[in-house]
Chain A
């Protein structure tokens, strides 16, 4: 960091505006500001501190405003105190401004009013950036030159002794300040960034983002899935069993239905049997009729039938015998007797006894049976003829009737046979009722099983759904767990980096301290011409001057002049500055497994200016020269506020390094001007 210029306006005794340029060249890096005591050298340092940190250390604290200006203020007047510092840090030119307004009260008191600060700089893209918030301003400034270190670089010669003491007034954060300068802060920042507070550090954030919840959940879900799968297997077995049972019931029911159906057939067959029986009955009736008919016909007609052949046997002879006789047919003697007795003929004529008719009739008697055979024979032959006639169709008729009768009997027998066949088919008549009951029972049980099946199927569906959902969730969690894995990996990496950095840091720090020790002692020995003394720097970067011949315990008691202390302080600071000036390239060998990797970390440090107020006030002549010789080489830029007398000592050594010289002319107690020489 290089200081370019500082502008003061009404700051303390610097009434009005004053501008101090700090030109900078490689071989001329010293700016001297000369002036007597109370001219304002210390004030100038204070100006730096004020513009940077808002701090002052004046005895009359409140009023920064130039008193003359304040005196001239009328009630209501406002005046401004302004300090503006332009510096270059890491290639960027910053303009740091601080103002403090003062107002004159009605009572004539001048009091501070509002104030403010601003940092302006030009960004890389060319835009001007203005930082106005005080916190932000503080951040910027502390990055450029941390406040803890301000005492080193804004060197107050009168307070030099503070540096070497290990007391509370000393620098407790000295170590961090040193580290900051030497670039270790970046690393410790990195470490802090990695592993600091749990909420904002990398590791903390990683850890926070670990979703352990999801890991636990994943375990739960896996367990659940296992359980579900077990249940599923189980239920599937049960399902198979149920299906088997249902099948069994189906078969049983089918069997029974078959039997019942056969029974239906039986019913049908039974029907057939009944119909046949009806038929049989009808036929039987018919047969009865036919029998009756036949018997009747036979009873009635058999006579003439049997007569016929006998008639044929004898009729010829009889006919012959009777052929010649002419008889009155069918009249018997009795008939004549009856007619004669009656006295009236059948034709109606009277028959008188003794008349011709009477005698004729009596005559006829002779020819009548029983008197005359022929008549009888004639009668007989006539009967014979009629019987023969009757007999002609007899056999044919009864045979016909018989045929039909036989037909009917056959029909009847066929039906009977059919029935007996059917009866055979029907077989044993079992009790259908018990079958029906069984069928009902099986049907009910089948229904129950079917319902169970439905339930199980539903449950299986449910289980499958749950398994599916759980697996989906598992996948989602797996993503998270992947994330977790990744995060864990990142954590590992971060830890490793942290480890590496810490190790490096420790080593480096040690190295630096060693180097610092070396450097400081080197410079010290160049500056100090007294007895062999050494500076020892401890881990907190507090340093001690030890006399080599005397043990360290006694060194405290050794008489150390302020000059020695001052020189020691110079050496210390110079050591720091010099180290800071160097670029430290670290070769860090990281042993990873078998391979050695070299980790290069470049710790960049900025060169720092040294702004010194009365640096030589406690230093004797020789030391002044020595110190003067070294300082410009150590610091990038040296700005000295010095008394004329001290300048005389240093002039020889420094004059060829002076880039500009200013003189503080004290015009009054309340007014000083700065003039370039």
Chain B
């Protein structure tokens, strides 16, 4: 089962999410569900920082409480993951993402959590590091930036797609 166990941020990410929770989000779990979205969008993955023993724990009950969003985030993040983009067969990709197989889920979770940590870093950088005092303002700026980028990105992608269609290329690189 997805998200049935408690999760802990470790090391620097623990301190990041502590800060983020202090300044902006109410709960770690709130960060947990947003971070991977941000991480996959900014194509940012990070690995666990084991350098120190700081931890920030999310209890299983909290995860269960946000199951719908978590599950959705999991699927969305994987769908947008570039690794999966390499799959020629969309069906295969989807099958794998939507699979109930424990092993598959384990691997998927690994990717997902990397995006979580990456997203945390992005959030930290963009919000806390930018303007710790006004984290909310920072967030709003970030949110605006996000749209702008997205808009630009999407516009760009749209243009690219059109170009590729003209050129009859199915898959295209994102960068």
CA distance A310 to B98 in the complex (A): 17
Whether B98 contacts A299 by the Cβ 8 Å rule is no
Q: A310 contacts B41, CB within 8 Å?
A: yes
Chain A positions within 8 Å of B91 at CB level: 321, 373
Whether A306 pairs with B95 at a CB distance below 8 angstroms is: no
Given contacts A309-B41, A369-B98, A395-B143, 4 further A-B contacts (CB under 8 A): A302-B34, A310-B40, A311-B76, A383-B68
| Cβ–Cβ < 8 Å partners of B90 in chain A | 317, 321
Please count the residue pairs between chain A and chain B whose beta carbons lie under 8 angstroms apart in the complex: 96
B7 contacts A by Cβ under 8 Å: no
A-B contact pairs, 27 of them (CB 8 A): A296-B26, A299-B24, A299-B27, A299-B30, A300-B30, A302-B30, A302-B34, A303-B34, A303-B69, A305-B143, A306-B37, A306-B38, A306-B41, A307-B76, A309-B147, A309-B153, A310-B77, A313-B157, A314-B79, A318-B94, A321-B90, A369-B98, A370-B99, A376-B98, A395-B140, A395-B143, A399-B140
CB atoms of B146 and A295 under 8 A apart: no
Q: CB < 8 Å: which of A306, A309, A377 contacts B98? A: A377
**Is A353's CB within 8 Å of the partner chain B?**
no
Interface residues of B in 135-159 (CB under 8 A from A): 136-137, 139-140, 143-144, 146-147, 150, 153-154, 157
Tell whether A312 is near chain B: CB-to-CB under 8 Å.
yes
Question: In the bound complex, how far is the Cα of B40 from the Cα of A395, in angstroms?
Answer: 20
Residues of B with C-beta under 8 A to A321 = 90-91, 94
Q: Is the CB of B136 within 8 A of A291?
A: yes
A402 at the interface (CB under 8 A from B): yes
- Contact between A298 and B25, CB atoms less than 8 A apart: yes
| B54 on the A face (CB < 8 A) | no
B72 at the interface (CB under 8 A from A): yes
Contact of B136 among A298, A303, A387 (CB under 8 A): A298
> How many residues on B have C-beta within 8 angstroms of the other chain's C-beta atoms?
39
Q: Which residues of A are in contact with B by a Cβ distance under 8 Å?
A: 291, 294-296, 298-300, 302-303, 305-307, 309-314, 317-318, 321, 369-370, 373, 376-377, 380, 383-384, 387, 395, 398-399, 402, 405-406
- Chain A: CB-nearest residue to B40: A310
Contact B98 A295 (CB under 8 A): no
Which 8 residue pairs of A and B lie closest in terms of their CB atoms, listed nearest first? A309-B150, A306-B37, A299-B30, A376-B98, A370-B100, A299-B26, A299-B25, A314-B79
CB-CB under 8 A from A380, the residues of chain B are 72, 75, 98
Q: Which residues of A contact B41 (CB under 8 A)?
A: 306, 309-310
Query: Are A307 and B72 in touch, CB under 8 angstroms?
Result: yes
> Within the complex, which residue of A303, A373, A395, A406 is in contact with B37, where a contact is CB–CB below 8 Å?
A303
B109 lies within 8 A of chain A by Cβ:
no
A373 and B38 contact, Cβ closer than 8 Å, known pairs A291-B136, A398-B140: no
Q: Are B136 and A295 in contact (CB under 8 A)?
A: yes
Which B residues are CB-close (under 8 A) to A377?
A: 94, 98
B56 close to chain A: CB less than 8 A:
no
User: B143, A384: Cβ atoms under 8 Å?
Assistant: no
Q: Which residue of A lies closest to B30 (CB)?
A: A299
B137 to chain A: which residues have CB within 8 Å? 402, 406
| C-alpha spacing A314/B27, complex, angstroms | 29
Among B26, B69, B80, point to the contact of A314 (Cβ < 8 A).
B80
Asked if B111 is an interface residue, CB under 8 A from chain A, the answer is no
Q: Which residue of B lies closest to A313 (CB)?
A: B80
Taking a contact as CB atoms under 8 Å apart, the answer to whether A298 and B139 are in contact is yes
B117 at the interface (CB under 8 A from A): no
B72 touches A306 (CB 8 A): no
Shortest B80–chain A CB gap in Å is 5
- Say if the beta carbon of B73 comes within 8 Å of chain A: yes
Known contacts A303-B37, A306-B41, A370-B99: A384-B76 contact under CB 8 Å: yes
CB distance from B170 to the nearest CB of A (A): 11
Closest A residue to B99 by CB, please name it. A370
Candidates B34, B79, B144; contact of A306 at CB < 8 Å: B34
B residues 68-109 in Cβ contact with A at 8 Å = 68-69, 72-73, 75-77, 79-80, 90-91, 94-95, 98-100
Q: Which residues of A contact B37 (CB under 8 A)?
A: 303, 306-307, 310
Are the C-beta atoms of B24 and A310 separated by less than 8 Å? no
Check if B33 is an interface residue, CB within 8 A of chain A.
yes
Q: Mark B10-38, 1 if CB is under 8 A from A, else 0.
A: 00000000000000111100100110011
Enumerate chain A residues within 8 angstroms of B143, measured Cβ to Cβ: 302, 305, 395, 398
Chain B 30-76 interface residues, beta-carbon cutoff 8 Å to A? 30, 33-34, 37-38, 40-41, 68-69, 72-73, 75-76
Are B146 and A309 in contact, with the CB atoms below 8 A? Answer: yes
Q: Do B144 and A395 have beta carbons less than 8 Å apart?
A: yes
CB < 8 Å neighbour of B80 from A294, A310, A370, A387 = A310
Question: In whole angstroms, how far apart are the Cα atoms of A299 and B98 in the complex?
Answer: 27
Residues of chain B within 8 A of A306, CB atoms compared: 34, 37-38, 41, 146
Contact flag A312-B76 (CB < 8 Å), given A370-B99, A377-B94 = no
Partner of A298 from the list B24, B99, B100 (CB cut-off 8 Å) is B24
A306 to B, closest residue via Cβ? B37
Q: Are B150 and A307 in contact (CB under 8 A)?
A: no
Contacts of A369 in B (CB 8 A): 98
Q: Nearest-CB distance from A289 to chain B (Å)?
A: 13
Chain A residue nearest in CB terms to B147: A395
CA–CA, A302 and B25, complex, Å: 10
Chain A nearest Cβ from B11, distance in angstroms: 23
Q: Least Cβ distance of A529 to chain B in Å?
A: 177
CB distance from B138 to the nearest CB of A (A): 11
Residues of B with C-beta under 8 A to A387: 72
Contacts of B146 in A (CB 8 A): 306, 309
Give the shortest distance, in Å, between B161 (CB) and chain A (any CB).
Answer: 10
A291 to chain B, nearest CB (A): 7
